[in-house]
């Protein structure tokens, strides 16, 4: 059966039909899916019957697996980050964010599947195009952002995870292993060449070269700007759905509207160091 691609919104998202991702794929199928990801940024596969092993195997078609930089304490194979929650309010996923931008080489993409849903429903995930967010800025703001770099730091997210019981990591050890890094505020997609905003409230702490007040004002503006519904698609989960997101040019938001257990598995694909119109320093001490 030919792969059928159905766009979900003008800005982002497509539903993919006619492919069983649990089986080994032909080269032509992988190429078609990669092209679809580049065009739509988020792919939704329905009616899939995956195991942890086939979830990992499917991800490997698109690159090297990126193990979780800070694994949760909920078990699972080392390639899978397990998010097991029953009251997710304030735990970080309910902020607009991209995955692991506090690392030198953030994930190229993430593949998400939900294994257990709250019995009363809820727990949708929204995704936003950071290319569309960049394009919607005025030309003077785009030119300003093109020239800037920002510091990304693991401290905020790991402190929250430890406090909420999702991680048994030692804060000082994690900070030593994952020191703050600098990435461009605007990145150039390595495959499409499209520019995207690359700051998020969970990891981005300051703009390099600005005063504290200037940095805070610009980041707050950008954090609010990316929330516009015109940039978004919202996915309703079931246990036979897989979502493949391009982490280089999207952010996502886990809707925290449930109070019963929800389990999600995430497999990430290793990316390259983000490239912008300016070249950031190798790292920053913050």
Dump the DSSP string for 187-252: EE-TTT--EEE---TTTEEEETTS-HHHHHHHHHHHHHHTT-GGGEEEE---TT-EEEEETTSEEE
User: Is residue 165's pLDDT more than 70?
Assistant: no
pLDDT (mean) for 40-55: 97
Determine the pLDDT at residue 174: 82
Share of the chain above pLDDT 70, in %: 93
Question: Which residues belong to the active site?
Answer: 97, 99, 252, 266
Determine the pLDDT at residue 285: 41
The rounded mean pLDDT for the chain is: 92
Write the pLDDT tens digit of every residue in 235-281: 999 999 999 999 999 999 999 898 899 999 999 999 999 999 866 55
Write the pLDDT tens digit of every residue in 205-214: 999 999 999 9
Determine the pLDDT at residue 279: 65
Write the pLDDT tens digit of every residue in 213-227: 999 999 999 999 999
Q: Reading across the β-sheet that carries 149-152, which strands appear in turn?
A: 181-184, 149-152, 204-207
Determine the pLDDT at residue 168: 63
Q: Which of 171-180, 190-199, 242-251 has the lowest mean pLDDT?
A: 171-180
Write the pLDDT tens digit of every residue in 90-140: 777 789 999 999 999 999 999 999 999 988 888 999 999 999 999 999 999
Beta strands in the chain (DSSP E): 4-7, 14-17, 42-45, 65-66, 80-85, 107-116, 125-129, 149-152, 181-184, 186-188, 195-197, 204-207, 232-235, 242-246, 250-254, 262-270
Determine the pLDDT at residue 283: 46
User: Is residue 188's pLDDT more than 70?
Assistant: yes
Q: Which of 50-54, 69-73, 227-231, 270-274 has the lowest mean pLDDT?
A: 69-73
Give the pTM: 0.92
Q: What is the CATH number of domain 4-270?
A: 3.60.130.10
Determine the pLDDT at residue 13: 98
pLDDT (mean) for 12-38: 97
């Amino acid at each position: 059966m030919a792969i059928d691609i159905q766009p979900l919104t003008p800005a982002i998202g497509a539903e993919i039909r006619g492919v069983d991702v649990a089986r080994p794929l032909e080269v032509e199928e992988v190429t078609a899916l990669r092209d679809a990801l580049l065009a739509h940024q988020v792919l939704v596969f329905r009616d899939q019957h995956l195991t942890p092993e086939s979830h990992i195997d499917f991800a490997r078609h698109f690159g090297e697996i990126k193990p979780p930089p800070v694994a949760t304490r909920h078990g699972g194979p080392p390639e899978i980050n397990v998010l097991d929650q029953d009251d997710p309010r304030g735990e970080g996923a309910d902020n607009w964010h991209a995955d692991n931008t506090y690392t030198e080489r953030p994930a190229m993409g993430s593949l998400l599947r939900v294994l257990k849903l709250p019995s009363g429903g809820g727990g949708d995930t929204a995704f936003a195009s950071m290319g569309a967010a960049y394009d919607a800025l005025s030309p003077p703001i785009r030119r300003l952002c093109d020239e800037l770099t920002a510091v990304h730091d693991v401290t905020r997210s790991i402190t929250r995870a430890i406090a909420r019981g999702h991680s048994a990591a030692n804060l000082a050890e994690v900070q030593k292993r994952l020191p703050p890094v600098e990435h461009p505020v605007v990145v150039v997609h390595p495959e499409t060449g499209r520019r995207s905003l690359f700051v998020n409230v969970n990891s981005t702490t300051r703009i390099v070269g600005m005063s504290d007040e200037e940095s805070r004002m610009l980041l707050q503006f950008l954090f609010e700007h990316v929330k516009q519904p015109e940039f978004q698609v919202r996915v309703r989960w079931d246990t036979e759905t897989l979502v493949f997101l391009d982490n280089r040019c999207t952010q996502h938001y886990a809707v925290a509207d449930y109070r019963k257990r929800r389990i999600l598995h995430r497999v990430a694909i290793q990316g390259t160091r983000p490239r912008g119109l300016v070249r950031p320093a190798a790292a920053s001490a913050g």
